[in-house]
Amino acid sequence: MAANGTINGAPTAPDATSTTNRPKPLTLRRPSNHLGALTPPPPSFFAGRWHITHSTLPIWRDKRNVTITYHLRPSPDSSTPPQLDDVVEFQTQSGEKVKQVKGTQSERDPSGKEGASWNWHGKGLIKVASAHWELLGWGGEDEDDQWMVTYFVKTVFTPEGINVYSRRPGGTSEELLEEIQRALVMTEHPGLERLAAELYEIKSDGRRE
């Protein structure tokens, strides 16, 4: 994966940190309840299929080939916040059946004042489930190189955690992943420092590329 992705609109020091091995340093923001906004990508950036390759969330430890596909829902007018429909697909470590979880997401603050943040709600049998996540960083010049890092706020349904997404089944380069982990630590946010050490690789066997 190209190592020249950028993080748009990340706060300047001391609110954000950067690594030093890139022409344009990789920076990650803290969650929005600790500092100001991140200039988000357009909603169309999320559209399509992503591979969740690394996580701290316990739900994925016994899963493999985890993907999420976002579909941008047209807004009826300019005053309506963007919404995304999503389908998460995965297999258990021992099973071949592909399982699905469907949900819908609405942008929490389209103005960006609270950062690039979204509210998720389940569909069907899990419609009572909800989560709140924020974009900490994103990059990739070409679509195949796109990646993003998300932070999940602790709720009744989800613990505090981080996911790393890539358009590629094999994930980001090892170099970029190490930079992401360093950037998480260097935010000096206690939760992100701890989560950086807990990040694990989600198994992918290449059967669902």
Sketch the domain layout of the chain as residue ranges.
17-201
Half-sphere exposure of 127 (CA within 13 A, CB side): 3
Q: Residue 106 has what pLDDT?
A: 87
Tokens encoding 72: 């941008």
> Per the omega criterion (within 30 degrees of 0), is the bond before 23 cis?
no
Q: Please, are residues 119 and 128 in contact by the beta-carbon 8 Å criterion?
A: no
Q: In this predicted model, what pLDDT tens digit does every residue of 157-187 receive, in sequence order?
A: 788 999 999 999 999 999 999 999 999 998 8
Say whether pLDDT at 19 is over 50.
Answer: no
Task: Classify 17-201 by CATH class.
Answer: mainly beta
The pLDDT tens digits of the residues spanning 40-90 come to 788 889 999 999 999 999 999 999 999 999 999 887 777 777 789 999 999
Alpha-carbon torsion angle 4, 164, 152, 99, nearest 10: 150
The predicted pLDDT at position 192 comes to 93
Q: With bands split at pLDDT 50, 70 and 90, how would you rate the model's confidence at 204? A: very high
User: Residue 39's pLDDT band (boundaries 50, 70, 90)?
Assistant: confident
